[in-house]
Structure 1
């Protein structure tokens, strides 16, 4: 998590009774892991929003930041001139965008939960890239009309919507934006929701910039596997206390798609599993530009490529850019 957001959250949570926040976290965990009601916002009051900020905002930031980094690699000359964060809640994705691209831009955060918008506005006020952001209450789904923008982000929102509302949201994003980045939980169900949205964006004329090296159908057989990645999340002492853990970090699993109407340079291939390092060799599971999944073995005889393979991480482009020059 970047330092400005860590500082803002520390100030927000300072003085809050951990037991009270932990109770709200337990309810949120039940919602995020199970069936989520669609007739009322998950974040209903200040206690819920504070719990969300402690429990989910750092992980959401890390996942979206990771997806945006891959997207930025595919569009190295692109900097969004405007950004709409749909279902943005307390604004984790807006912080991730400001951490990815320098400068300021018009930012609009849309969410149904007024307490989340209020808190997001509060913690963003002292952060210059977000100080002038608009925090606007809106129902997410059917009937949503988005203003034209360079970038739309939708993070951990599709799980809260009906199938009809998910379809409407994907279509609204495609109609309004040059670029769309959608992030969901790294579960089979989260991956399926991402694929649904990916398919609609491609049919609307978008090309996939990341993580896929192509815009054709995903080669994963439905029901047999799912595509997801991992982002390392630093945890504050209060965060560890609320979540009952002792480690200084956790790994957030997520699925995503980043699509654009602009010229893009997707990765030649993407590492889709944690690399397996063995004596004198590295095994890489790849999704490749020819629309297939493969396993590549890189050995010491490959020289610099072997060194790159030992440094490769889950989610990285392959081969690394410097090996292509």
Structure 2
């Protein structure tokens, strides 16, 4: 029997035939309209994703990038809580289910283990396509419960080990954002929130982070502490990047020629149980110079600081050369 494909490859294969039968011009027009909505004021009286062609264009345009960003955020949580894995997962505003695929890639089900998964979203066409895509995935994906729900202040969430909220807060009013994060904190044992890696996205993450701490959560990632963010407001923003492989279809829809793109994102992962955050986090792409590596770090004791690792540091220098933006530092001992 052939071994199953990794989750990322399975998702790419499922997306490869997604736009079959949809004229390229129609797909491009749908993508342009979606970009305009997400960059401007998102309407609250109707779902942005109106029908299957909208959803297909959205999935081809955004799902690979969302998957990689959420997978990176969940990896941060998993590294801070080794041995823990969610028995239940609630994805709020999950659309076509990128975060569900990311959770499966992070915690592949062990033989005999199971995970119950629920996706809530307002757009029924997105939920329908999510079911369709999940049918080609692992058992945990195929068993997902896809529910239509309006994401807002009145939403009551079922309790779950893991609650994910990815690329949703921007679509909500300030009041609804606060209510959703508060409700996620009530419902979840671990909460992971992902937003675009922009100054505004970072501010929404900081607001959510503060609210989670007020609710009694501990920050697991990316921050190495529960203290206030050491970045001076208005001077910079904390964000990371995930490398996204593009299929030929993805390049066609997005109008790009490169085989990859870098998805910039900000996130917070917080828990109600014990976790071991990184001692420090690499907050910018390491600068590799002749005989040295320059690291920008957020640390437990010193806030933001720069560290230079040279050849005389031996194995630490070799580790620094392999360290990426967003990694913990120093590297974990093997």
User: Per the shorter chain, which TM-score range?
Assistant: over 0.9
Which residue number in structure 2 is paired with residue 48 of structure 1?
Answer: 54
Write the deviation string for residues 180-222 of structure 1: whole angstroms up to 9, x where unpaired. 0000000000000011101000000000000000011111111
CA distance in structure 2 between the aligned counterparts of 1:16 and 1:248, rounded to whole angstroms: 22
CA distance in structure 2 between the aligned counterparts of 1:7 and 1:154, rounded to whole angstroms: 25
Q: Quick check: 1:214–1:291 contact (8 Å CA) kept in 2?
A: no
Which residue number in structure 2 is paired with residue 26 of structure 1?
Answer: 32
Q: Quick check: 2:278–2:329 contact (8 Å CA) kept in 1?
A: yes
1:38 paired residue among 44, 58, 78: 44
CA distance in structure 2 between the aligned counterparts of 1:217 and 1:288, rounded to whole angstroms: 12
Matches within 5 A, 1:119-268: 119-127=129-137, 128-268=139-279
2:283 paired residue among 272, 284, 304: 272
- Give how far 1:270 is off: 0.1
| CA 1:307–1:185: 2 relative to 1, 3 Å | same
Give the TM-score normalised by the residue count of structure 1.
0.97
- Give how far 1:39 is off: 2.3
Write the deviation string for residues 219-278 of structure 1: whole angstroms up to 9, x where unpaired. 111111000000000001111111111110000000000000010000000000000111
Which residue number in structure 2 is paired with residue 118 of structure 1?
Answer: 128
Q: Helix, strand or coil: the match of 1:37?
A: coil
Q: Helix, strand or coil: the match of 1:251?
A: strand
Q: Helix, strand or coil: the match of 1:59?
A: helix
Matches within 5 A, 1:52-91: 52-91=58-97
CA distance in structure 2 between the aligned counterparts of 1:158 and 1:40, rounded to whole angstroms: 16
- Give how far 1:280 is off: 1.1
Write the deviation string for residues 136-160 of structure 1: whole angstroms up to 9, x where unpaired. 0111120111111100000000010
Which residue number in structure 1 is paired with residue 4 of structure 2?
Answer: none
Q: Quick check: 1:19–1:242 contact (8 Å CA) kept in 2?
A: no
**Is 2:311 aligned against 1:300?**
yes
CA distance in structure 2 between the aligned counterparts of 1:291 and 1:92, rounded to whole angstroms: 36
CA distance in structure 1 between the aligned counterparts of 2:128 and 2:216, rounded to whole angstroms: 36
Q: Tell me the C-alpha RMSD between the 2 structures.
A: 1.1
CA distance in structure 1 between the aligned counterparts of 2:287 and 2:310, rounded to whole angstroms: 12
**Is 2:21 aligned against 1:15?**
yes
Q: Quick check: 2:247–2:259 contact (8 Å CA) kept in 1?
A: yes
- Give how far 1:11 is off: 2.7
Q: Helix, strand or coil: the match of 1:94?
A: helix
Q: Quick check: 1:58–1:233 contact (8 Å CA) kept in 2?
A: yes
Which residue number in structure 2 is paired with residue 4 of structure 1?
Answer: 10
Which residue number in structure 2 is paired with residue 108 of structure 1?
Answer: 118
Q: Quick check: 2:213–2:226 contact (8 Å CA) kept in 1?
A: yes
Structure 2: where are the runs of 5+ without partners? 1-6
- Give how far 1:291 is off: 5.6
CA distance in structure 2 between the aligned counterparts of 1:59 and 1:91, rounded to whole angstroms: 12
Q: Helix, strand or coil: the match of 2:18?
A: helix
Aligned pairs, number: 323
Q: Quick check: 1:151–1:180 contact (8 Å CA) kept in 2?
A: yes
CA distance in structure 1 between the aligned counterparts of 2:126 and 2:25, rounded to whole angstroms: 20
Q: Helix, strand or coil: the match of 1:290?
A: coil
- Give how far 1:12 is off: 2.1
CA distance in structure 2 between the aligned counterparts of 1:211 and 1:42, rounded to whole angstroms: 31
Runs of 4+ in 1 over 4 A off after TM superposition: none
